[in-house]
């Protein structure tokens, strides 16, 4: 299958998906989300593939967020649809995949990029990685499951601080928080993930599928995800959203009216 924004390679029993939009720091747009869905679906149906690694092209970014220019003029209804479709097509899809997905986080993982990494079954970061959910600086909230998965991974208080400050944390702090499992050098990131994937691939794929399902059930609160989608959409009707996105696209500091 041909992709415009991805590189997909198989090194049996491992599949590697690389988001490749270097001019946009691998930011997610609708086309990339659709391509990721198709790539994950194809690798899941490939009986030779036991584990999938997801990473970003280059050393600067895993995925540096969503492509804001694509939705800056959306209405509330379009915002709700954006979040709901994205969660269903990619983020929930990855989380519930029958094969383990390891996020190899190289560089920036911000906004939708961090949400994508959190949807993976676990994460390994290079020591130059930076992670954050900056959406409130745009007059938004995380809309791809970030308000739900981040507290599950690092606890409510730390998640509140990360989301409300819109700040970034480095790989060392992410390891301390439990947001990532390991931190390695950029040069050894992929090989480290491949070794982990190799160890996983020796085990029963049927048992692994059931383990993923069982673990996920314990953390799934569908009401929380639905509330996030609705609140995300509501933000699109606010003056703060208009100011935040306009300021971002014009590369200036936002002056939020608070309404």
Q: What is the CA radius of gyration of the chain?
A: 18
Helix (H), strand (E), coil (C) string for 239-254: HHHHHHHHHHHCCCCC
Cβ-based neighbour number of residue 95 at 10 Å: 19
Q: How far apart are CA 141 and CA 235, in angstroms?
A: 8
Q: Which sign does the torsion angle of CA 214, 176, 107, 232 carry?
A: positive
Work out the number of other CB atoms within 10 angstroms of the CB of residue 88. Answer: 12
Q: Rounded to the nearest 5°, which phi and psi values hold at 207?
A: -65, -40
Q: Which residues are catalytic?
A: 115, 135
Question: What is the rounded (10 degree) CA torsion for 58, 64, 65, 70?
Answer: -70
* Spatial distance between the Cα atoms of 63 and 257, rounded to a whole number of angstroms: 30
Q: Distance between CA atoms of 55 and 91, rounded to whole angstroms?
A: 15
Mapping DSSP to helix (H, G, I), strand (E, B) and coil, where does residue 41 land?
helix
**227 Cβ neighbours under 8 A, 6+ residues apart:** none
Contact 57, 22 (CB under 8 A): yes
């Amino acid at each position: 299958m041909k992709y415009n924004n991805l590189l997909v390679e198989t090194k049996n029993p491992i599949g590697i998906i690389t988001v490749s939009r270097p001019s946009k720091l691998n930011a997610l747009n609708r086309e990339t989300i659709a391509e990721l869905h198709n790539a994950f679906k194809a690798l899941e149906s490939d009986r030779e593939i036991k584990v999938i690694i997801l990473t970003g092209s280059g050393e600067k970014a895993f995925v540096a967020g969503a492509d804001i220019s694509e939705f800056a003029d959306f209405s509330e209804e379009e915002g709700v649809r954006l979040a709901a479709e994205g969660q269903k097509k990619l983020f929930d899809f990855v989380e519930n995949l029958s094969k383990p997905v390891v996020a190899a986080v190289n560089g920036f993982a911000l906004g939708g990029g961090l949400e994508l990494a959190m949807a993976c079954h676990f994460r390994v970061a290079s020591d130059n990685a930076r992670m954050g959910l900056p959406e409130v600086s745009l007059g938004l909230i995380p809309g791809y499951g970030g308000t739900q998965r981040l507290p599950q991974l690092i606890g409510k208080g730390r998640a509140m601080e990360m989301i409300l400050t819109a700040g970034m944390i480095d790989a060392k702090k992410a390891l301390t928080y439990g947001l990532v499992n390991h931190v390695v050098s950029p040069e050894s990131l992929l090989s480290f993930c491949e070794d982990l994937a190799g160890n996983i691939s020796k085990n029963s794929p049927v048992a692994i599928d059931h383990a993923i399902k069982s673990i996920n059930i314990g953390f799934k609160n569908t009401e929380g995800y639905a509330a996030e989608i609705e609140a995300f959409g509501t933000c699109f009707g606010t003056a703060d959203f208009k100011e935040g996105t306009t300021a971002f696209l014009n590369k200036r500091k936002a002056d939020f009216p608070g309404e």
